[in-house]
């Protein structure tokens, strides 16, 4: 997080990380939010480390630098550099794959191990468009989030449900934490 004065105005830069098992839709959540794009056959992200989104809160310019893994999560090799300086996190699972929900605790542990400040955290149950093959109930998501003190939202990167809202709640919470 950084804040600087610019002719009396203030600017904020927040680093946010997206974590969760492989293929839960992390990259598509980010591309939907940052570029309004969705890819049905997306391969592991190559190259792009983060995307920056600018938001106005209370007349202040807030830049969210949102980091996506390059697929390292398949090898459980997300490095400490990825987490360094993060003040917000989206922990994503796939509502149609129970195993990805069962992994959330491990991702939270890893996040907590690597962070040294308050991190605004949102539990995200993605692919809520796949209601017909749902494998994790809304109640399960809600109670895990309550137990761990996380925000919670179900999203669909495919049909855009709640994607903008999920990111903006995290960004606002970070802003509230620092201002």
Q: Which residues contribute to the site for Mg ion (CB under 5 A)?
A: 26-27, 45
Minimum Å gap between C-beta 24 and Mg ion is 9
Task: State the residue number with the nearest CB to ligand GDP.
Answer: 25
For residues 141 and 123, the answer to whether their CB atoms sit within 8 Å is yes
Minimum Å gap between C-beta 146 and ligand GDP is 23
CA distance 57 to 64: 12
**Residue closer to ligand GDP (CB basis): 12 or 33:** 33
CA distances from 21 to 65, 107, 108 (A): 21, 8, 12
Task: State the residue number with the nearest CB to Mg ion.
Answer: 27
The encoded tokens of residue 162 equal 């709640």
Listed in sequence order, the residues at least 6 apart from 73 whose beta carbon sits closer than 8 Å to its beta carbon are 19, 20, 21, 22
Work out what residue 97 binds among ligand GDP, Mg ion, none; the CB cut-off runs from 5 to 8 Å by kind.
Answer: none
Minimum Å gap between C-beta 127 and Mg ion is 14
């Amino acid at each position: 997080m950084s804040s600087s004065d610019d002719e009396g105005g203030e600017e904020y830069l927040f680093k946010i990380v997206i974590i969760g098992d492989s293929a839960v839709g992390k990259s598509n959540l980010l591309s939907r939010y940052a570029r309004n794009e969705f890819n049905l056959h997306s391969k592991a992200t190559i190259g792009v480390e983060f995307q920056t989104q600018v938001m106005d809160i209370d007349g202040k310019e807030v830049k969210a630098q949102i980091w996506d893994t390059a697929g390292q999560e398949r090898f459980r090799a997300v490095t400490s550099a990825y987490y360094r300086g993060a003040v917000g996190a989206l922990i994503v699972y796939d509502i149609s794959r129970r195993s990805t929900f069962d992994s959330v605790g491990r991702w939270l542990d890893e996040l907590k191990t690597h962070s040294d400040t308050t991190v605004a955290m949102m539990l995200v149950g993605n692919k809520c468009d796949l209601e017909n093959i749902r494998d994790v109930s809304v109640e399960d998501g809600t109670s895990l989030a309550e137990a761990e003190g996380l925000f919670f939202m179900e999203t669909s990167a495919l049909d855009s449900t709640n994607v903008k809202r999920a990111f903006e709640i995290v960004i606002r919470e970070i802003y509230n934490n620092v201002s």
